[in-house]
Amino acid sequence: MHRTPGPIEKHRSNPQKIPILKKPAVKPSVANRSLLVRWCLALPVLFGGCSQEIASAPTGGSYGMVSEEPSSDHTSDGSSGGAVTAAASPASPVSTADACANPQSWRASHDFSFEASNAAPRFAEAINPLIRATDASPFAISNYMAPGCIWKVAFSALDDGAASGPPEHAVTFTEMFRHPAGLWTVAPQTSGWIRLVDAHGQTVWIPLARVTGSAVYGGATDCSSLGSAKASGVIPFSASALHLAIPAGDTTLGDLLGPPDSSDPPGWAVRFSFSANSDH
């Protein structure tokens, strides 16, 4: 009985070369090559300095370590010392041995100065001389690495009075962008403090909300100092009744600040700048 061979048997008896279609090589454009190079340069910065060890909290003062992630509505408002955008990604890698990769605390120097505001000129005129007249640092910047290799930073005065237990003036840390030249807050910090010594020698803690800041390292090879730092925040309206003594006499924050100029949160927007030195 004769059987007609099937297609597979026909192929076996008479094999033929099946043409293979090759995808033509595509030469990357100059723009694509440039983007690839930028990503390759950025990868060591993003991942090279991160180990499996989680760095401890900064020393040189106590913080209320409220590990709070900023909510989705906390975005940078572009004010002085605001958050960094992707366009500002670093172009040179950071060595894991770099001192800038370790947790630090930097205390503000006596050049700490509030910017004079047209709405409240009396505040800067009264507070800046108090800062220069004392050895107490009014402010600080501290950072540490949280689980997941996420750097956190707090722009706030150090509460040295807390020898044991949680400090009275707790702050929240916010996510930090670390660059070989400095650091920035990624999103506003919920709370912080400025510490003053008034004309009667009393310590006065001024609360801050919605703090953003940036700092530039003072040295090219280490982070023992911050050459310049800028920050902005809001003194909440609830602090208006806070009493303090200035050379002209006793007063309140509300009297010095005048009508509130911020609605989110209600209060007074302030900006200030300073240099700082590390506690290490």
Q: Which stretch of DSSP H or E encloses residue 10?
A: helix 7-13
- Confidence at residue 68, expressed as pLDDT on a 0 to 100 scale: 38
- Confidence at residue 168, expressed as pLDDT on a 0 to 100 scale: 78
Question: Across the chain, what does the average pLDDT equal?
Answer: 73
Q: Which stretch of DSSP H or E encloses residue 185?
A: strand 182-185
Strands (E), 198-265: 203-217, 225-236, 243-246, 249-252, 262-263
Tell me the DSSP string of 16-40. Answer: -PPPPPPPPP-PPPHHHHHHHHHHH
Position 21 in a domain: no
Position 152 in a domain: yes
* 224 CB burial (10 A radius; 0-12, 13-18, 19+): middle
Cα–Cα distance for residue pair 173/129, rounded to 1 Å:
29
The pLDDT tens digits of the residues spanning 165-181 come to: 456 788 889 999 988 88
Q: Is the pLDDT of residue 25 over 90?
A: no
Position 76 in a domain: yes
Domain span at 219: 30-278
Position 23 in a domain: no
Q: How many domains does the chain have?
A: 1
Distances, alpha carbon 155 to alpha carbons 6, 137, 143, 173, 254, in Å: 80, 13, 9, 8, 23
Residue in 278, 136, 279, 154 with CA at minimum distance from that of residue 217: 278
Position 3 in a domain: no
SS3 232: strand
Dihedral Cα 229, 232, 236, 239, nearest 10 deg? 40
Q: Is the pLDDT of residue 142 over 90?
A: yes
The distance from CA 198 to its chain's CA centroid, rounded to whole angstroms, is 29
Name the band, by pLDDT with cuts 50, 70 and 90, for residue 188.
very high
Q: Is the pLDDT of residue 154 over 60?
A: yes
Position 39 in a domain: yes
Position 156 in a domain: yes
Position 259 in a domain: yes
Q: Is the pLDDT of residue 150 over 70?
A: yes
The pLDDT tens digits of the residues spanning 105-124 come to: 999 999 999 998 776 789 99
Token pair of 178, please? 């670390």
